[in-house]
């Protein structure tokens, strides 16, 4: 498990980007002791949902949202419920809380492409 941050640095209804090597993970706190992690990659075009933390959520703070075409995703499942990739899923990464630290399963991240 890879530690990313302390739980108390995450606000409910907001998401944060965390850079791990060449990939960016989104962390979204969905409850007092619950955090979900996703790859910052929209299933529509394979580009980041947002390039700034302030672009990652719908204005009401309920859904993750793509800043390019407005697709919205359920924070607890990553399912797209509106937009051009309706029914698709964000790339989910297992996330757990240990001693109020947020950890993810590093092996679930995409492997870098070799050329």
Q: Is 86 in the site for ligand FES (CB under 6 A)?
A: no
Q: Is 44 in the site for ligand FES (CB under 6 A)?
A: yes
Structure tokens at 74: 């359920």
Q: Is 56 in the site for ligand FES (CB under 6 A)?
A: no
Q: Is 68 in the site for ligand FES (CB under 6 A)?
A: yes
Q: How far is the CB of 86 from ligand FES (least distance, A)?
A: 10
Q: Is 69 in the site for ligand FES (CB under 6 A)?
A: yes
Q: How far is the CB of 82 from ligand FES (least distance, A)?
A: 10
Q: What is the DSSP string of the chain?
A: -EEEEEGGG--BT-EEEEEETTEEEEEEEEETTEEEEEES--TTTSS-S-SSGGGSB-TTSSEEE-TTT--EEETTT-BEEESTTTT-B--EE-EEEETTEEEE-GGGSPPPP--
Q: Is 55 in the site for ligand FES (CB under 6 A)?
A: no
Q: Stretches 9-17, 30-38, 39-47, 92-100: which one binds ligand FES (CB under 6 A)?
A: 39-47
Residues of this chain that interact with ligand FES (CB under 6 A) are 42, 44-45, 47, 66, 68-69, 71, 83-85
């Amino acid at each position: 498990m890879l530690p990313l941050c302390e739980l108390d640095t995450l606000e409910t209804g907001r998401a944060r980007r965390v850079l791990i090597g060449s990939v960016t993970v989104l962390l979204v706190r969905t409850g007092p002791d619950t955090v979900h992690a996703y790859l910052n990659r929209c299933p529509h075009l394979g580009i980041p949902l947002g390039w700034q933390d302030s672009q990652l959520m719908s204005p009401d703070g309920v859904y993750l949202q793509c800043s390019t075409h407005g697709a919205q995703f359920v924070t607890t499942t990553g399912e797209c419920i509106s937009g051009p990739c309706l029914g698709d899923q964000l790339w989910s990464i297992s996330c757990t809380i240990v001693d109020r630290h947020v950890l993810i399963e590093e092996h679930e991240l995409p492997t870098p492409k070799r050329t």
